[in-house]
Amino acid sequence: MKLNSIITALFASFQLGFVIGLSESDSVPKVSFLTRTRTDDDDFDWKILTSDDYFANKRVVLFALPGAFTPTCSSTHLPGYEEKYDDILSMGVDEVYCLSVNDAFVMRQWGLHQGLEEDKTPGSLGFKKVKLIPDGAAHFTRGMDMSTMWDAERGFGERSWRYSMVINNGVIEKMFVEGLGPMDNSAEDPFEVSDALSMVNYLKSVQKDEL
């Protein structure tokens, strides 16, 4: 991020009294997600999944991004984690999730458009590698204090700021937040620390420390 952008963002943060609410060692929000699950080869039905369904009794990686079908999210962020999926799971991680403030219909179509391989098993979470979490009402995003409005800047409305984290049994083990954190109508959409390679490097460092 350029120096003048950092100064502008910092000044705006002080004006807004901005503080990132959750950090490492905090528990992630307890919310419900309205998802679509396959019932047979061609049909789907609504299914409510909770934070515990996704995060309890497992160690997972979650990365959140501003929106399905948007440029950086589609060209780099999701593809990077899809490519590194097996590497990430080989380092003591049970699952990799991608979260966005989009509904379940949009998230599925985005996954298909991205070329993700569908898991057609009835009751599956949609795709075989990275699983897409629809936070359509932004309940999880708000609970993380990662909600931002991009209505004037991009016409998006409420979206998630870009970040990634390791969640261990519902508790934040490590967190990477882009830039200075959520800012409404930010002209910048920084993408420097929440990428797949940064996550892989962190997981490798933890493995090395444990040896």
* H or E element at residue 96: strand 95-100
Angle at alpha carbon of residue 79, lines to 126 and 137, rounded to 5°: 50
- Find out whether 106 and 140 touch, Cβ atoms under 8 Å: no
Active-site pick, 9, 31, 73, 138: 73
List beta partners, residue 175. Answer: 165
Angle at alpha carbon of residue 129, lines to 32 and 22, rounded to 5°: 45
Tell me how far apart the alpha carbons of residues 188 and 168 are, in angstroms, rounded to a whole number.
31
Tell me how far apart the alpha carbons of residues 189 and 184 are, in angstroms, rounded to a whole number.
11
Q: Is 98 considered catalytic here?
A: no
Handedness of CA 30, 31, 32, 34 (dihedral sign): negative
Tell me how far apart the alpha carbons of residues 140 and 101 are, in angstroms, rounded to a whole number.
9
Report the DSSP pairing between strands 131-134 and 95-100. Answer: parallel
Q: Point out the residues that are catalytic.
A: 73
